Amino acid sequence: MPQNPEQIKDHAELFQQPEYQELFKNKREQFEGGHSDEEVERVAEWTKSWEYREKNFAREALTVNPAKGCQPLGAIFAAAGFEGTLPFVQGSQGCVAYFRTHLSRHYKEPFSAVSSSMTEDAAVFGGLNNMIEGLQVAYQLYKPKMIAVSTTCMAEVIGDDLGAFIGNAKNADAIPQDFPVPFAHTPSFVGSHITGYDNMMRGILSYLTEGKKKDTTNGKLNFVPGFDTYTGNNREIKRMLGLMGIDHTILADNSDYLDSPNNGEYNMYPGGTKLEDAADSINANGTVFLQGYSTQKTQEYVKEKWGQQTKVLRPWGVKGTDEFLMTLSELTGKPIPEELEIERGRLVDAMTDSYAWIHGKKFAIYGDPDLIVSVVSFLLELGAEPVHILCNNGDNEFKKEMEAILSASPFGKQGTVWNQKDLWHLRSLLFTEPVDFFVGNSYGKYLWRDTKIPMVRIGYPLFDRHHLHRYPTVGYQGGLNLLNWIVNTLLDELDRNTNITGKTDISFDLIR
């Protein structure tokens, strides 16, 4: 075999070696019983047609590559934003291993989460014993300041009562009576990762703030990022708030947890919003949500139970960041500093430089509803024209907001919003109504391979590219990053299409 300790080959190169190619050939011929190459090619071409598109959109009982995760993924992501917090999943080891690796592959960082290791006996008799033993071991072994519990499908189907189970664990002295264990029911068979984020955020905040309401405010503003996987965004938000002199609390800040320094010291729980700050958030002057659809229940809770004013502000692009800063100035009486005005001017200048390359370009996009609203709004500022807007976890409220944004712009007239559709639906759309580029996460690389339409990687997860999550996408600085990724993807494609000597290189210019 070609693999040996003296010369370790990457799998991309290893599987091209003769031994593996022979193995694959034998497997196809002896075991797969597949159709001929000609038949495969014929059917593949048919799947690009309008006829197939109609059949594809008529399916109801099958989802192919849904472009969303399940609730516990979002729940453990939310929990990791609080100081010393260990996410605990009431379910099987396989489930929590999926959630951990999904986040670890995106961030290239270890993600700590434990499970109650439920198996067949727990499915029959319930998971109480697993919960008690799991909480005890987690508390003693990992020494967290808080354990945040969520559920998987198995626990929900058999009806595990988390509140009662946690109470029983404390009564059994598995964990101290005063140890914080907030929880959220997060069944994977409904909603998505943004639903799980919302449920856990509401569960943690309601637990920590219970009985902490005071007669006076603490003078702060709360900021809830939502299911935002760009670690650079929390830092950019804090930087802008610092420039304006606004006292604030981020609920919850997982930027250090998911982007910790390699300084030779191991810290299982780096960073995070301090528990006492989270507990005091009930006494803030108000709460700003940087996403709307991933925080719906939390917004309702803050408004009704805390009695606070709430606002949804998405500081993406020029208009979104303008609205964000002007609203904060109105709420706090703080002026917008000149430094931010200069940054705005730089973004406007950069957009002017690149406008000719993006104006009139047709695009498709898929992802979470808040991400889509933000990215489409920015691209409309650049004169790009959305055609296919696909959101598997979008609802009617999202569709209504998105259609209002499209109708308000001269560039949005031909855009169509597709809710509860998957990436196989998008494949049909891209083949029957091609666009100039599309925006999405790493799963879109298979669409790029099929359609040859250039892809801009924005969203979650980003498995096949490194470090993109470290850059901000919010604020004027984030707008520069978005502009960079978009325009240079288009210029890369232009160079690819003009690089054949004597044929297509008539305008293979050095200067673009």
Give catalytic residues, as residue numbers: 153, 157
| Chain Cα centroid distance, residue 485 | 18
- Using CA atoms of 492, 497, 502, 506 in order, give the dihedral in degrees to the nearest 10: -70
Other Cβ atoms within 10 Å of 216 Cβ, number: 6
3-state secondary structure 81-141: CECCEEEEEECCHHHHHHHHHHHHHHHCCCCCCEECCCCHHHHHHCCHHHHHHHHHHHHHH
Nearest-CA neighbor of 231 among 260, 269, 259? 259
d(CA 95, CA 88): 12
Using DSSP bridges, classify how beta strands 309-312 and 248-250 pair: parallel, antiparallel or unpaired: unpaired
Whether the link from the prior residue into 461 is cis, omega within 30° of 0, is: yes
Q: What kind and span of H or E run contains 250?
A: strand 248-250
d(CA 60, CA 72): 25
Q: What kind and span of H or E run contains 283?
A: none
Q: What distances in angstroms separate CA 359 from CA 316, 335, 436, one per listed residue?
A: 18, 34, 11
Torsion sign (Cα): 162, 168, 174, 176: positive
- Using CA atoms of 341, 343, 345, 351 in order, give the dihedral in degrees to the nearest 10: -150
